[in-house]
Amino acid sequence: MDLLVRFFVNAVALAVAAWLVPGITVAGSTTTDQALTLAIVAAIFGVVNVVVRPVVKLLALPLIILTLGLAIFVLNALMLMLTSWITGEFEVAFDVDGFGSALVGALIITVVAWVLELVLPD
């Protein structure tokens, strides 16, 4: 059940980021196509956060300590850009235009996921 809640939270957070940040696009001709695209992107984003992020976080630990945790935002942006690249390889209509868009999008995703996790029951 926890996995489904995290999947839903990721999908909603990605949708909000795509809605608010002009550099993040989710293409689709219909709302159903966009929802399916968001579901695929949320699954890929979840896998990236489970597999790649801990390794990168461990390697960047000295930088994270040096910047008092602010490097986490850069890592989150890089994970979003990696997700965009992977979805591009699978020809999924999700695109992040640049690092600035990824940084703002990662910040929005973090805040929205935090708020949803506070609201949703365990």
pLDDT on residue 3: 86
Nearest to 92 by CA among 45, 30, 31, 26: 26
Please list, in sequence order, all residues whose beta carbon lies within 8 angstroms of the beta carbon of residue 14, skipping any fewer than 6 positions away: 26, 38, 41, 42, 45, 109
Q: Mean pLDDT over residues 35-61, rounded? A: 95
- String of b and e for 46-57 (b: at least 16 CB within 10 Å)? bebbeebbeeee
- Mean pLDDT of all residues in 69-95: 95
- N-to-C CA span, the chain: 9
Q: Residue 91: enclosing H or E segment and its boundaries?
A: none
- pLDDT tens digits, one per residue of 86-110: 999 999 999 999 999 999 999 999 9
| pLDDT band (50, 70, 90) for residue 1 | low
| 51 confidence band (pLDDT: 50, 70, 90) | very high
Number of C-beta neighbours around residue 30 at 10 A: 8
The residue extents of the domains of the chain are 2-119
